[in-house]
Structure 1
Amino acid sequence: MALKSLVLTIAIMAVLSSMSHAGEPSPLQDFCVAVDDAKNAVFVNGKFCKNPMQVVADDFFESGLNVPGNTSNPLGSVVTPVNVNQLPGLNTFGVSLVRIDYAPYGLNPPHTHPRGTEVLTVFEGTLYVGFVLSNPGPNMKNKLFTKILHPGDVFVFPIGLIHFQFNVGKTNAVAFAGLSSQNPGTITIANAVFGSDPPISDDVLAKAFQIDKKVVDYLQSQFWWDNNI
């Protein structure tokens, strides 16, 4: 019995240990304002940290999320991020924020965040949102979860899964989203697959998508818009 308890304890500790390393490392000090110049940096933790004696309030401040983004592009949407690259004081805290503006029928196209879960709330307008599960197994399809969101509604997109938002209304829409990473990254599926540099072999894509190579060549010749500022 004692041996079983010991084995169970070790198993639980292993699981907790793996969970603690699944996300970003915990801060080792009160803050670590990111700085690019290593000569002026101390206390490395994720990025080089600004000398605490030189930290000021503006290192923790960013403005402008009240200003609508320019949606006059082929997608009809624009993402305004506030991550560690815009707000150095976020370094080591494992969070970031975006504002997303949508023109009528504007789309934030299918994409993933490889390093962060996203929780989105609609401020104005009506959005059709959804995400797709990862490969479920043999003879099973990737399940799609969708919802129509109105102002005040909240929806979560799990880390790494393909998701999207589409403005189904006739007016502009605005949403804000928090992400569980200081730098969650974005992989826009169409851009990455058909707009990579250098291009992925059309033989590979034709077989993967089960389409003619001429279709692949056409898609690769298009300009793939990035709606992230």
Structure 2
Amino acid sequence: MGTHILPLGLVALICCSVAFAFEPSPLLDFCVADLTSPVKVNGLVCKDPMLVQANDFFFSGLHIPGNTTNPVGSNVTPVNVAQIAGLNTLGISMVRLDYAPWGINPPHTHPRATEILTVVEGTLYVGFVTSNPENRLIAKVLEKGDVFVFPVGLIHFQRNVGYGNAVAIGALSGQNPGVITIANAVFGSNPPIASEVLIKAFQVEKNIVDRLQAQF
């Protein structure tokens, strides 16, 4: 009997560790974010529930196409806790993604959320890369109605491979999933990463690093 205590205890500890690795389950019906509060916590302070209204759970405009006239040819319209205060502590958010013909959503990660993407219109080539040392690309071409999952923290991307505009909806397992666009972070950091670091990391000449940093 006693021999089963330690393994069961380890299982319970592992389960608790996984549970606390992501946003905790809410302890109230809701915790509408008080965006005016100066208090800083891991999340946002709750508004007085007696002051909560329907608009705290509402967002309008996701039907409006985003402006894709930019160097990458895509636009992301977020719907997270900054747009819907009622998402606070609920652990979900979403985005609308618009792509011009051959536009891309550049390689990026969401440090605090897994994403599930649904193609609403067009054809997308999508993929993610597994972690070191394999760095294996898992990619697929998606058509209208297809769904694809990008695991939390992994670098992923989308590219419109059609001749018309494309639209997708992404749902994320975090109220504020965050986004780190790889090129922007590496070549556009403020202050810049020392060129000596990037030269060795990317095995390229200094003039290439300088040109990339100038673009970002």
In the superposition, the TM-score normalised over structure 2's length comes to 0.97
RMSD: 1.3
**Structure 1 alignment gaps of length 5 or more:** 225-229
Q: Pick from 135, 146, 150 the counterpart of residue 153 of structure 1.
A: 146
Q: Residue type of the partner of 1:13?
A: A
Q: What corresponds to 1:77 in structure 2?
A: 74
Deviation by residue 1:7-28 (Cα, 9 ceiling, x = unmatched):
1111110111111101101111
In structure 2, C-alpha distance between the alignment counterparts of 1:148 and 1:157, rounded to whole Å? 14
Runs of 4+ in 1 over 2 A off after TM superposition: 36-39
Q: Using the TM superposition, give the Cα deviation of residue 45 of structure 1 relative to its aligned residue in structure 2, in angstroms.
A: 7.7
C-alpha distance in structure 1 between counterparts of 2:170 and 2:37, whole Å: 32
- CA-to-aligned-CA distance 1:98-130 (integer Å, 9 cap, x gap): 000000000000000000000000000000000
Amino acid corresponding to residue 25 of structure 2 in structure 1: S
Contact 1:28 1:45 in 2 (8 A): no
The answer as to 2:87 corresponding to 1:90 is: yes
Partner of 2:188: 195
Amino acid at match of 2:167: V
Q: Which runs of 5+ in 2 are unaligned?
A: none
The structure 2 residue matched to 1:143, chosen from 136, 145, 165, is: 136
The 5 A counterparts of 1:1-229 are 2-38=1-37, 46-136=43-133, 141-222=134-215, 224=216
**Residues in 2 aligned to 1:125 and 1:28: alpha-carbon distance in whole angstroms:** 41
Matched residues in 2 for 1:97 and 1:218: separation? 34
Kindly indicate whether the alpha-carbon contact (under 8 Å) linking 1:45 and 1:92 is maintained by their aligned counterparts in 2.
Answer: no
Identical aligned residues as a percent? 63
Code of the aligned partner of 2:106:
P
Q: Distance in 2 between matches of 1:93 and 1:6?
A: 34
Provide TM-score, normalisation by structure 1. 0.91
Preserved contact between residue 32 and residue 45 of structure 1 (Cα < 8 Å): no
Contact preservation (8 Å) 1:69, 1:80: yes
